[in-house]
């Protein structure tokens, strides 16, 4: 089949070229229609369920809401594990499903379970809600609003009425989380004196108000028409005041006679500011597989239409708080610059070595053709176009041209030899034979290069989801280059070199060949000696390996930082914002910071479960280099360190999302502490937390569930309740009404959902424990009773949150390794655990993205060793005997030396990307070795030369141009990334590129100088073998 394809390409070149052009135009058209995102969808299959439970403490939510729901959801098919968090007023349950499960089926199964849970939940628990299916990166854009004219109540109403609905209607937007301002509620504020005068119970008032909002429905049939019966169930505030009430004495009166009815602000669960000015912050969440760039454009267009309305209301829009699309576009621009520069360097090398512009252009043309075809083939696998796919194509840049170089170089060499003959053969015949001569070894070499990348496709978990698209793109790029070398390269060669009569070697080859022959002649005079010296050098280089540390992802230069601060649990929103304003003011003074916004608490329906003590900041930077971004990072960290009373984390957005996706927390290392009781878990956790804080190898150590939240505990005395003629339900209803208010109903006003709330309080009161103790309720006889007369009221310590993992109570400690050195950090953690007596029945589990990365690295190495068996088989097929096959594999340590040296110079930390670099390197190295040995076989078996020193030197000299060119073009294609790796779009590829350059340098030198000596000393080229 290959012979037929090559023959057709050479003898019918216009057909082949036309077909290739047609495919290229189609690929280009398709590519321009493709969405672009940051990373592939890296989160597991999740379903998140939230249940609001007004007025319940964390302990009450755990026992009455979370536990029943966990039991109900425990047996869902394909569920891997379940974790939950219970905080005051909210239960959040996260279910993780198997990789091969379907998102929609998972959600359907959960929904079916949820249909029957309402009856098992307490009356003040809302219906459990399933959160929208969001993308892995989640946030598409963050915007904000401030106003000097409007108060925060009116500003929030404007945002809820005009901005949020417009954004939610956009294609690709899953949700909009709103922080800050005040939502409106219709408050019915009871007057206790008038309540006593008319003597009506709270229960009766609630029943009357609910009855007034009943929907009247039905219809009647007349002889000629049907008439629908309607009654306006949405009662305006004027009519609510006129609602009739009836007490037990049969007395009628109006609601306005005992209460003040007006719009007030809902009790805040979040506050927000922009550049230390109070405002509203909106976090726009993208749907699964969202096109970040396209949705950002849609948001901009939608906001542009609303700008006149925004300005007319004296409101300022802040649309540059956070825009992930900026990083995507900057990364794409950076990578495209690299591709252009790398392509130019490749072309220059080809022109210098081939000394023939046509030959150089034919070889270089395989780059755009191969990358275009590979892009479309990758997209056809269901993978989106993202930074990882582009990274796979970028690191393949130098290699996609290799097949063409080998083919063109061999064609030119055979044409030069043909031109020296007295009776030259037909040039098309020479081109055909020259293409076939290298085709077998090229195909085997390409298959091996593709095969060594298969382990990336077999990785499981987070790392597999992130790096598999890179592997797919790389494999398909090599495959596409092979297709190009089989078709386009012979076709263009047949047109360009039909009348080729040149007999001289290219100038550069003439210049270096004599020197190369002398050096090789000297080395091959002592083959065993130099083989032993080389092996010793390899083993000494490998000593560097244990000294390297391991990481998962490098720092990403997104031009944006996320700050998380946490004060003592129970800190008020106002105090948290005051601390935040102080931080914001200082951060804004740092050179390079463009804007900063802050929000504290949590958003309604938001995925995060944060209390009033917690705050998050978005710090947007100007366009800076990676080095300057790091300086800004360090200065922000210094501000945070010098802010008393807080613990903090400082991350880039994407690294944080990867961490959070892995474990649910925004740190790379998460320690889970399990035990038989929460008391024992607390004791063990506090000991371990203290030990970790004292380590110099760890930072940002935080205990996630602390027993220190102040709360007011009310214990009712049944005897005193009976003595005072008050039922327990009446007392509890009274407390709910007196503290936060009792939600009677909800109604829509345009797009706004307005709760109707019954309140029993003095609007001018100062909230304190004394206020609670002296609250007055009335018994059935109308007698005033103080709350302290029927209960014990005290301040105690409770929990801000309670965590479960697979239904078990768990305590969490999060931390980061200093300098990203994961293995050093893990050794330190294990030493600390072993040196602390944590008590009986305590079980420790260490997880997080860092652990997943570590496990994935080991998994990658194990799978790679297994794949090497298949590689060995392919090499054996290509080479023909086992001894020469083993000599080919000896070249791998040659490559390893340079890669390890490059990794050590680059900081000594091996990320997953670095390991991918080594995999790439091994494939390239094997290709060059196979090409050299295959040529030796050709000289011995086809040309008929004897296997001796002269044949070794002749074969190596003839392969010198292609080996040098393939090594140089691959290395030079990586140079723009390696020497500018600390910038947007190149952070993951940079370590790969450095390792590839270092390894190619050592392997190319050893391939050209030492492998021939090895082959002379130990190779086998007799007919029998």
Residue 156 covered by a domain:
yes
The 10 Å Cβ neighbour count of residue 351 is 18
Output the CA torsion 401→404→406→408 (10° steps).
Answer: -130
Asked whether residue 197 is assigned to any structural domain, the reply reads no
**Residue 834 in tokens:** 């072993």
Contact by Cβ (8 Å): 56, 65: yes
Same domain, 807 and 705: yes
The tens digit of pLDDT for each residue in 501-549 reads: 776 777 788 888 889 888 888 888 887 787 777 777 777 766 766 677 7
Specify if 463 maps to a domain.
yes
Residues 590 and 673 in one domain: yes
Closest CA to 515 of 934, 949, 945, 953: 953
> Long-range contact list for 715-722, CB < 8 A, 24+ apart?
715/791, 715/792, 715/793, 716/790, 716/791, 717/790, 717/791, 717/792, 720/789, 720/790, 720/791, 721/790
| pLDDT on residue 1023 | 57
Q: What's the chain's average pLDDT?
A: 84
Q: For residue 589, what is the domain's CATH number? A: 3.30.70.1430
Phi, psi of 85 (to 5 degrees): -140, 130
Domains: count for the chain: 3
Residues 110 and 167 in one domain: yes
Identify whether residues 967 and 861 lie together within a single domain: yes
Please state, in angstroms and rounded to a whole number, the distance separating the CA atoms of residues 910 and 548. 7
Residues 306 and 177 in one domain: yes
Tokens of 904: 């050590």
User: Which residues, in sequence order, are bridge partners of residue 754?
Assistant: 747
Q: Do 316 and 360 belong to one domain?
A: no
Instruction: Name residue 369's beta-bridge partners.
Output: none
Question: Mind giving me the DSSP string for 251-302?
Answer: -EEEGGGTEEEEEEEPPPSEEEEETTEE-EEEEEEEETT--HHHHHHHHHHH
Whether 766 maps to a domain, the answer reads no
Task: For residue 318, name the pLDDT band (cuts at 50, 70, 90).
Answer: very high
Burial class (CB in 10 A: 0-12, 13-18, 19+), 444: buried
Instruction: Return the closest-CA partner of residue 154 out of 389, 269, 332, 315.
Output: 315
Residue-level pLDDT at 215: 57
Three-state DSSP at 832 gives helix
Confidence of residue 476 (pLDDT cuts 50, 70, 90): very high
> Comparing C-alpha atoms, which of 49, 113, 57 is closest to residue 87?
57
Specify whether 564 is located in the same domain as 607. Answer: yes
Mean pLDDT of 965-987: 80
More confident residue, 460 or 299: 299
Q: What is the pLDDT of residue 235?
A: 59
Domain edge (last residue) among 287, 322, 357: 322
Radius of gyration of the chain (CA): 36
For residue 927, give the CATH number of its domain.
Answer: 1.20.1640.10
SS (H, E, C) 385-454: EEHHHHHHHHHCHHHHCHHHHHHHHHHHHHHHHHHCCCCCCCHHHHHHHHHHHHHHHHHHHHHHHHHCCH
Q: What is the pLDDT of residues 824-838, one digit of tens each?
A: 888 889 999 988 888
Q: How many CB atoms lie within 10 A of CB 723?
A: 13
**Do the bridges between strand 129-130 and strand 36-37 make them parallel or antiparallel, or are there none, so unpaired?**
unpaired
Residue (of 292, 290, 348, 297) closest to 319 by Cα position? 297
Residues 791-817 have pLDDT tens digits of 888 888 878 888 998 888 899 999 988
User: Could you tell me if 477 and 356 lie in one domain?
Assistant: yes
Q: Is 306 a residue whose pLDDT tops 80?
A: yes
Reduce the DSSP state of residue 76 to 3 states and report it: coil
C-alpha distance across the termini of the chain, in Å: 28
Determine, yes or no, domain membership for 1014.
Answer: yes
Verify that 483 and 338 share a domain, yes or no.
yes
Do residues 478 and 565 share a domain? no
Residue 740, in any domain of the structure: no
3-state secondary structure of 810: strand
Query: Quick one: which H or E segment has residue 802?
Result: strand 801-805
Give dist(CA 984, CA 554) in Å, integer. Answer: 12
Backbone angles phi, psi at 353, to 5 degrees: -80, -40
Task: Indicate the range of 290-299, 340-349, 498-507 predicted with least confidence.
Answer: 498-507
Among residues 265, 295, 322, which one ends one of the domains?
Answer: 322
| pTM (two decimals) | 0.84
- pLDDT beyond 60 at 233: no
Q: What are the tens digits of pLDDT across the range 109-130? A: 998 888 878 778 887 788 888 8
My answer on whether 818 and 866 are in the same domain is: no
Shared domain check, 811 and 665? yes
Domain hosting 646: range is 560-709+802-844
Q: Quick check: is 786 in a domain?
A: no
Percent of the chain, pLDDT > 90? Answer: 17
The answer on pLDDT for 163 being more than 90 is yes
Determine the number of helices (DSSP H) and then strands (DSSP E) in the chain.
35, 35
What pLDDT shows up at residue 541?
67
């Amino acid at each position: 089949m290959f012979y037929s394809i090559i023959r057709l390409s050479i003898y019918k070149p216009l057909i082949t070229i036309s077909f290739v052009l047609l495919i290229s135009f189609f690929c280009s058209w398709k590519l321009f229609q493709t969405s672009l995102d940051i990373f592939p969808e890296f989160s597991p299959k999740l379903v998140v369920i939230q249940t609001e439970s007004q007025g319940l403490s964390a302990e009450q939510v755990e026992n009455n809401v979370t536990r029943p729901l966990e039991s109900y959801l425990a047996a869902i098919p394909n569920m891997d594990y379940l974790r939950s968090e219970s905080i005051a007023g909210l239960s959040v349950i996260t279910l993780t499903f198997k990789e091969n499960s379907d998102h929609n089926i998972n959600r359907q199964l959960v929904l079916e379970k949820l249909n029957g849970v309402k009856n098992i939940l307490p009356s003040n628990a809302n219906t459990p809600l399933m959160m929208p299916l969001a993308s892995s990166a989640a946030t598409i854009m963050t915007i904000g609003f401030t106003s000097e004219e409007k108060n925060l109540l009116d500003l929030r109403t404007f945002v809820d009425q005009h901005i949020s609905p417009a954004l939610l209607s956009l294609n690709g937007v899953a949700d909009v989380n709103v922080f800050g301002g005040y939502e409106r509620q219709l408050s019915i504020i009871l007057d206790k004196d008038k309540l006593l005068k008319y003597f009506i119970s709270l229960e009766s008032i609630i029943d009357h108000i609910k009855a007034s909002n009943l929907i009247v429905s039905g219809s009647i049939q007349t002889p000629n028409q049907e008439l629908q019966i309607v009654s306006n169930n949405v009662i305006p505030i004027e009519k609510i005041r006129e609602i009739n009430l009836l007490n037990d004495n049969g007395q009628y009166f109006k609601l306005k006679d005992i209460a003040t009815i007006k719009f007030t602000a809902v009790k805040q669960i979040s506050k927000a500011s922009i550049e230390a000015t109070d405002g509203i912050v909106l976090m726009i969440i993208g749907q699964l597989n969202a096109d970040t760039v396209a949705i950002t454009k849609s948001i901009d267009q939608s906001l542009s239409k609303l700008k006149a309305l925004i300005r007319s209301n004296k409101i300022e829009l802040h649309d540059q708080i956070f825009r992930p699309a900026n990083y995507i576009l900057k990364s794409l621009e950076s990578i495209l610059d690299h591709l252009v520069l790398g392509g130019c360097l490749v072309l220059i090398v080809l022109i210098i070595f081939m000394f023939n512009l046509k030959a150089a252009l034919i070889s270089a043309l395989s780059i755009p053709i191969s990358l275009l075809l590979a892009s479309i083939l990758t997209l056809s696998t269901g993978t989106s176009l993202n930074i990882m796919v582009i990274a796979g194509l970028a690191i393949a840049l130098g290699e996609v041209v290799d097949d063409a170089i080998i083919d063109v170089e061999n064609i030119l060499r055979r044409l030069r030899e043909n031109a020296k003959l007295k009776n030259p053969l037909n040039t098309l015949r020479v081109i055909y034979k020259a293409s076939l001569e290298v085709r077998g070894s090229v195909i085997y070499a390409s298959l091996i290069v593709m095969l060594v990348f298969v382990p990336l496709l077999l990785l499981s978990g987070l790392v597999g989801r992130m790096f598999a698209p890179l592997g797919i793109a790389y494999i398909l790029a090599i495959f596409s280059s092979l297709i190009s070398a089989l078709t386009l390269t012979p076709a263009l060669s047949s047109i360009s070199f039909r009348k080729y009569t040149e007999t001289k070697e290219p100038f550069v080859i003439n210049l270096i060949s004599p020197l190369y022959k002398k050096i090789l002649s000297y080395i091959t005079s002592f083959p065993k000696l130099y083989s032993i010296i080389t092996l010793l050098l390899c083993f000494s280089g490998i000593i560097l390996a244990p000294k390297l540390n391991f990481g998962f992802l490098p720092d990403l230069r997104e031009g944006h930082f996320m700050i998380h601060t946490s004060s003592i649990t129970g800190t008020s929103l106002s105090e948290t914002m005051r601390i935040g304003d102080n931080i914001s003011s200082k951060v804004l003074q740092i050179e390079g910071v463009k804007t900063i916004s802050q929000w504290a608490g949590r958003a309604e329906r938001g995925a995060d479960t944060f209390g009033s003590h917690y705050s998050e900041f978005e710090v947007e930077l100007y366009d800076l280099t990676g080095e300057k971004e790091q300086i800004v990072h360090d200065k922000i960290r210094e501000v945070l360190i010098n802010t008393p009373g807080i613990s903090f984390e400082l991350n880039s957005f994407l690294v944080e999302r990867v961490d959070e996706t892995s474990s649910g927390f925004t740190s790379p290392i998460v320690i889970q502490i399990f035990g038989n009781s929460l008391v024992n878990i607390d004791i063990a956790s506090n000991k371990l937390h203290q030990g970790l804080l004292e380590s110099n190898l760890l930072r940002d150590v935080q205990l996630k569930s602390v027993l220190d939240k102040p709360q007011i505990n009310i214990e009712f005395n049944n005897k005193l309740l009976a003595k005072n003629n008050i039922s327990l339900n009446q007392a509890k209803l009274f407390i709910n009404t007196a503290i936060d208010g009792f939600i009677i109903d909800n109604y829509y006003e345009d797009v706004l959902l307005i709760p109707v709330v019954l309140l029993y309080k003095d609007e001018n009161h100062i909230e304190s424990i004394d206020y609670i103790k002296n609250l007055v309720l009335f018994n059935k006889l109308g007698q005033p009773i103080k709350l302290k007369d029927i209960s014990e009221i005290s301040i105690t310590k409770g929990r801000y949150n309670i965590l479960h993992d697979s239904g078990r109570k768990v305590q969490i400690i999060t931390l980061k390794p200093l300098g990203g050195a994961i293995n050093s950090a893990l050794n330190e953690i294990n030493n600390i655990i072993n040196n602390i007596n944590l008590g009986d029945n305590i079980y420790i589990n260490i997880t997080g993205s860092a652990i997943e990365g570590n496990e994935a690295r080991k998994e990658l190495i194990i799978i790679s060793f297994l794949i090497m068996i298949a590689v060995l088989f392919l090499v054996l097929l290509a080479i023909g005997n086992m001894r020469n096959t083993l000599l080919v594999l000896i070249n791998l340590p040659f490559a390893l030396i340079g890669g390890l040296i490059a990794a050590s110079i680059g900081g000594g930390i091996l990320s997953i990307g670095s390991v991918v670099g080594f995999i790439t390197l091994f494939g390239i190295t094997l290709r060059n070795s196979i090409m050299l040995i295959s040529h030796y076989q050709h000289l011995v078996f086809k040309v008929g030369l004897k296997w001796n020193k002269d044949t070794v030197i002749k074969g190596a000299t003839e392969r010198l141009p292609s080996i040098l060119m393939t090594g140089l073009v691959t290395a030079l294609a990586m140079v723009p990334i390696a020497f500018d790796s600390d910038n947007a779009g190149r952070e993951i590829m940079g370590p790969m590129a450095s390792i590839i350059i270092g390894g190619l340098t050592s392997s190319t030198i050893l391939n050209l100088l030492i492998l021939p000596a090895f082959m002379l000393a130990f190779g086998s080229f007799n007919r029998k073998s």
